C-alpha cells in the first residue's frame, strides 16, 4: 500500500476497504512479482483503489477501465492486469466494454465492487440496483430489473466467475488468487456495503445492519443455477455466493494464435 496516501477516503463501514485488502493479500500471495501486477480503476469511490496500491496503477475515466486495461494487456501481455472498480462504472456506464471483454476471453481480472448504487455522487440508482430498492433517484422504489452479474458475465463468455461479499475475506482472497491464475477473462463480484449511499435508504440502520444482513443471508453454492442468483430486496431471499464458473477455454491470445495457425496451414 502507498502509506502516504492513507487514511483512505471511504466512509466508516464501507466494504471497499476489505475488498482492497483482499486484493492486496492476493497479490502478495501470487507467484507473479509485484512489479508485474497492474491495477486499473475507473471513477467512483472504488476508483480510488488505484491510488492506494503500491503497484503500477491507473485511475482512468468513467466506465473505461476495461478498454484501458485491454490496451495495456495487448501491448504488454506478460503483465497481470486487474481492473478494480465499482458496479456503476463497470456495469452501468461501461457495460458494453464488460460484455465484450468477456466475449473475447481476454486475460484480464475484473474485481467489481457492487454496492447497488452510485455511492460517490449521492446514491443514485443504476443497472445493479435491485427491483424495489430505494435510492436518491428512486425514492418510491426502483421499478427496473437489475442485472444479474454472474449470469451476464458467464453468458458473455467469461472463464472464471465468482461472487463473495466483502465480509468473506478468506474466500474472496482465494477467488482473486484464482482469477490471477486462470488464462482468460476472470470476473469477481464483491458485494460491498454502502451504508451511506444505499443502506440507510433501505432500512439498514447502519453499516453493521447491512453487514449482518450479508452474513445471515449468505449461502455458498458453487454449482448454483446462475439464473437464480440475482440479488433481490426481499429479506427472506438468500444471497448466493460461490465460484460459479471455472473452465478452460483458449484466451484471446491463444485463440488468436490457433486461428492464425489454422488459416496459414489451410493456405499451404
Of 160 and 198, CB closest to ligand SF4: 198
- Position 161 contacts ligand SF4 (CB under 6 A): no
Of the candidate residues 45, 50, 151, 241, the single one contacting ligand SF4 (CB under 6 A) = 45
How far apart are CB 11 and ligand SF4 at their closest, in Å? 3
- Position 42 contacts ligand SF4 (CB under 6 A): no
C-beta neighbour count of 213 within 10 angstroms? 18
Please count the residues of this chain forming the interface with ligand SF4, following the rule CB under 6 A.
Answer: 12
**Segment lying near ligand SF4 (by CB under 6 A), choices 58-66, 181-189, 194-202, 224-232:** 194-202
> What distance in Å separates the CA atoms of residue 148 and residue 130, rounded to the nearest whole number?
9
**Strand ranges of the sheet holding 239-246, from the earlier edge strand across to the other edge:** 56-59, 37-41, 80-86, 109-114, 186-191, 160-165, 239-246, 218-220
CA-nearest of 89, 119, 88, 112 to 172 is 112
> What distance in Å separates the CA atoms of residue 170 and residue 257, rounded to the nearest whole number?
36
Block residue for cell numbers 470476473: 187
> Which DSSP string do the residues of 88-135 spell out, in sequence order?
IIIIIISHHHHHHHHHHT-S-EEEEEE-SSBTTTT-B--TTSPTT--B
Of 21 and 178, CB closest to ligand SF4: 21
Give CA separation, 54 vs 19, 72, 109, 212, in Å: 16, 18, 18, 32
How far apart are CB 14 and ligand SF4 at their closest, in Å? 3
- Position 10 contacts ligand SF4 (CB under 6 A): yes
Of the candidate residues 63, 195, 230, 242, the single one contacting ligand SF4 (CB under 6 A) = 195
- Position 120 contacts ligand SF4 (CB under 6 A): yes
- Position 119 contacts ligand SF4 (CB under 6 A): yes
3-class secondary-structure state, position 56: strand
Of 206 and 246, CB closest to ligand SF4: 206
**Segment lying near ligand SF4 (by CB under 6 A), choices 18-26, 150-158, 191-199, 257-265:** 191-199
How far apart are CB 123 and ligand SF4 at their closest, in Å? 7
Beta strands, E only, 197-236: 218-220
- Position 112 contacts ligand SF4 (CB under 6 A): no
Of 92 and 115, CB closest to ligand SF4: 115
**Segment lying near ligand SF4 (by CB under 6 A), choices 66-74, 75-83, 114-122, 152-160:** 114-122
Omega prior to 7 cis, within 30 of 0: yes
Amino acid at each position: 500500500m502507498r502509506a502516504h496516501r492513507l487514511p483512505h477516503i471511504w466512509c466508516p463501514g464501507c466494504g471497499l476497504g476489505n475488498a482492497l485488502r483482499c486484493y492486496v493479500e492476493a497479490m502478495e500471495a501470487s507467484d507473479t512479482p509485484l512489479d508485474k501486477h497492474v491495477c486499473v480503476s475507473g471513477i467512483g469511490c472504488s476508483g480510488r483503489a488505484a491510488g492506494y496500491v503500491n503497484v503500477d496503477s491507473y485511475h482512468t475515466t468513467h466506465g473505461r477501465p476495461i478498454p484501458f486495461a485491454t490496451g495495456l494487456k495487448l501491448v504488454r501481455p506478460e503483465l497481470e492486469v486487474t481492473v478494480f472498480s465499482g458496479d456503476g462504472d463497470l456495469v452501468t456506464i461501461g457495460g458494453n466494454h464488460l460484455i465484450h471483454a468477456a466475449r473475447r476471453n481476454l486475460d484480464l481480472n475484473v474485481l467489481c465492487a457492487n454496492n447497488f448504487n452510485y455511492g460517490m455522487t449521492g446514491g443514485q440508482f443504476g443497472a445493479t440496483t435491485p427491483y424495489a430498492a430505494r435510492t436518491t433517484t428512486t425514492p418510491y422504489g426502483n421499478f427496473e430489473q437489475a442485472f444479474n452479474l454472474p449470469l451476464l458475465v458467464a453468458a458473455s463468455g467469461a472463464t472464471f466467475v465468482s461472487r463473495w461479499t466483502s465480509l468473506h475475506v478468506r474466500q474472496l482472497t482465494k477467488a482473486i488468487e484464482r482469477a490471477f491464475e486462470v488464462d482468460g477473462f476472470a470476473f469477481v463480484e464483491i458485494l460491498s456495503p454502502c451504508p451511506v449511499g444505499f443502506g440507510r435508504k433501505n432500512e439498514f440502520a447502519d453499516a453493521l445492519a447491512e453487514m449482518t444482513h450479508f452474513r445471515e443471508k449468505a449461502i455458498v453454492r458453487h454449482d448454483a443455477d446462475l439464473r437464480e442468483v440475482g440479488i433481490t430486496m426481499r429479506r427472506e431471499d438468500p444471497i448466493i455466493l460461490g465460484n460459479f464458473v471455472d473452465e478452460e477455454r483458449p484466451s484471446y491470445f491463444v485463440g488468436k494464435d490457433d486461428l492464425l495457425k489454422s488459416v496459414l496451414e489451410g493456405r499451404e
